[in-house]
Structure 1
């Protein structure tokens, strides 16, 4: 059962519409184990070989100010290999940048929370995440508010958010303010749908769930389709839920926001998709694609994407690194291969 469609995945035919955007330079920089903020900027430039977000240093300062531990960008062991670690909080959650293997030049790296089986999107850009942090801090009671965060954000904070604007806006609900003034976020939209259900407004819940899945909102991420499938199940639309779940599985499985099995159950699939992918990453599967006329470079990039999917099921990223890196190398993406295989 072949999969098609979707964008921005790890090189598979699911994202042929996305042009390659790679600045080919040697990833020669070695990052020390002591993590200082300038190291992250250098790492993004020289190892991830892409343009660092303009205000990355300010974000790191903000994360440190709110009590998180800044960690080395090269501390990738055990994490999805597309992540560039930034910080870790007291509960052990890691915040990172996501380095898509292929991406259009205008797309800034999103900020994600790294999970065992993949990532959860926190914000589409660094600036959006800084803006959200400042709004959420300003919305707190004056006794709980960390005033140092506003100082840590420096000039960029003032450009993104004027302190006191949330209170002056007259918008009583923080989530509503975020959606109107900051941007759209997966967790905020999901809470909005749940509130509609709690209020007995099923129509608004369905409309918001559908809005969540618009392709321009979260390109490359499967999570909106997973959540929409759950919404459809809740209102008894089992066929539509099945279709939505199968649509989600056309995107990278490490963007589902949950375990693969949870989505496969809604899609009413047993293990046929897993078996299909396992066949595709064998030498026989590769030769079959070549015989069908698929370009050799595309075949190995597809294989890299499939291997990332398989790794996400187990949460065993390190066990797949060598094969994934080799695929990107064979596909002509040497810089991505070096980034994937980087060890400090």
Structure 2
């Protein structure tokens, strides 16, 4: 069995615990076989999609229909999305599977985050929508809640200018305006709204719908393509403040800093911020976990993924 350092072992283990701890150094080293026990469903009360109420996953049926018709914006799995079992043992125990990609096998899920004090959190907040896969240590954030994701789908469908797009907008608008959802999203989406604003699809979504991690990453890349380092960093730093409790935006920020000259220490510090947040939020795959460990200077920079977790 491959030996791994106590520090990185505790990081991976924490990705599967119910209440991630901020103090990583206090964990003892565990074998990889023992780490698997942290992903067992018995560690947390799982909730099926049919049990979720409107305050957690708004308009579940509409969400699944829109995902099946349009796909999941921001997803890296791609492919047609189909319904899936309400319980998938090999998924991270905090995830509620909603749809599955026929191509990649990735799942679109709701994230059932655990709060120590629900009243302190202002009640149970809407569940973020994420992407993950079986036996993966983490997940990829797609949207802060289902209404954000559905509104984005409507915008993209409208911007396509197709008949199918009009049908998707009609599907999204069905039931809105009747007080079933939060006031901010209870108004119907009007055809032509993206074109009317005149800033393009991505900027319309960020301005009129909500924050999305992949759009901020795209914005940073576009600025870098125009050799505007300062604007790229501003976009990445803005994203860090939009997704509270998620390490993935800091991981993206660390990658950006690492690509720039004389920013190694800043990249290291940004990567280490990921390790002070729930570990399952910093990325979806083992490769992403290994990359962050290298950027945080907890592992060598030239080895393979397996070498990144060796002592």
- When normalised by structure 1's length, the TM-score is 0.62
Distance 1:155 1:242 in 2: 48
The one of 119, 139, 146 equivalent to 1:119 is 139
Aligned residues: 237
Distance 2:196 2:169 in 1: 18
Match of 1:238?
Answer: 264
The one of 60, 77, 93 equivalent to 2:106 is 93
CA RMSD of aligned residues (A): 2.8
The one of 168, 181, 188 equivalent to 2:196 is 168
- In the TM superposition, residue 51 of structure 1 has moved relative to its aligned partner by 4.8
- In the TM superposition, residue 14 of structure 1 has moved relative to its aligned partner by 3.1
- In the TM superposition, residue 261 of structure 1 has moved relative to its aligned partner by 0.7
Q: 1:255 to 1:161 in 2, by over 3 A?
A: same
Distance 2:102 2:264 in 1: 40
Higher-RCO chain (CA-CA 8 Å, sequence separation at least 6): 1
Q: 1:129 to 1:268 in 2, by over 3 A?
A: same
- In the TM superposition, residue 192 of structure 1 has moved relative to its aligned partner by 0.2
Structure 1 residue runs of 5 or longer lacking an equivalent are 4-8, 16-26, 30-38, 272-312, 314-344
- In the TM superposition, residue 250 of structure 1 has moved relative to its aligned partner by 1.4
Distance 2:149 2:188 in 1: 10
Distance 2:64 2:128 in 1: 14
Match of 1:53?
Answer: 57
Structure 2 residue runs of 5 or longer lacking an equivalent are 1-6, 12-16, 24-44, 71-79, 177-184, 301-308
Match of 2:158?
Answer: 138
1:1-344 alignment, distance < 5 Å: 10-14=18-22, 40-42=49-51, 44=52, 51-66=55-70, 68-74=81-87, 76-91=88-103, 92-102=105-115, 104=121, 105-115=123-133, 116-142=136-162, 145-153=164-172, 154-156=174-176, 159-171=187-199, 173-214=200-241, 217-236=242-261, 237-257=263-283, 258=285, 259-270=288-299
Residue by residue over 1:17-75, the C-alpha shift from the partner in whole angstroms, topping out at 9 and shown as x without a partner, is: xxxxxxxxxx799xxxxxxxxx7233x36xxxx9543322221222234452112322x
Q: 1:152 to 1:89 in 2, by over 3 A?
A: farther
- The 8 Å contact of residues 169 and 189 in structure 2, kept in 1 or not, is answered as no
Q: 1:60 to 1:245 in 2, by over 3 A?
A: same
Distance 1:111 1:178 in 2: 16
- The 8 Å contact of residues 247 and 281 in structure 2, kept in 1 or not, is answered as yes
- The 8 Å contact of residues 20 and 279 in structure 2, kept in 1 or not, is answered as no
- The 8 Å contact of residues 245 and 263 in structure 1, kept in 2 or not, is answered as yes
- The 8 Å contact of residues 139 and 166 in structure 1, kept in 2 or not, is answered as yes
Q: 1:196 to 1:238 in 2, by over 3 A?
A: same
- In the TM superposition, residue 235 of structure 1 has moved relative to its aligned partner by 1.5
- When normalised by structure 2's length, the TM-score is 0.68
Distance 1:244 1:267 in 2: 8
Match of 1:339?
Answer: none
Q: 1:163 to 1:186 in 2, by over 3 A?
A: same
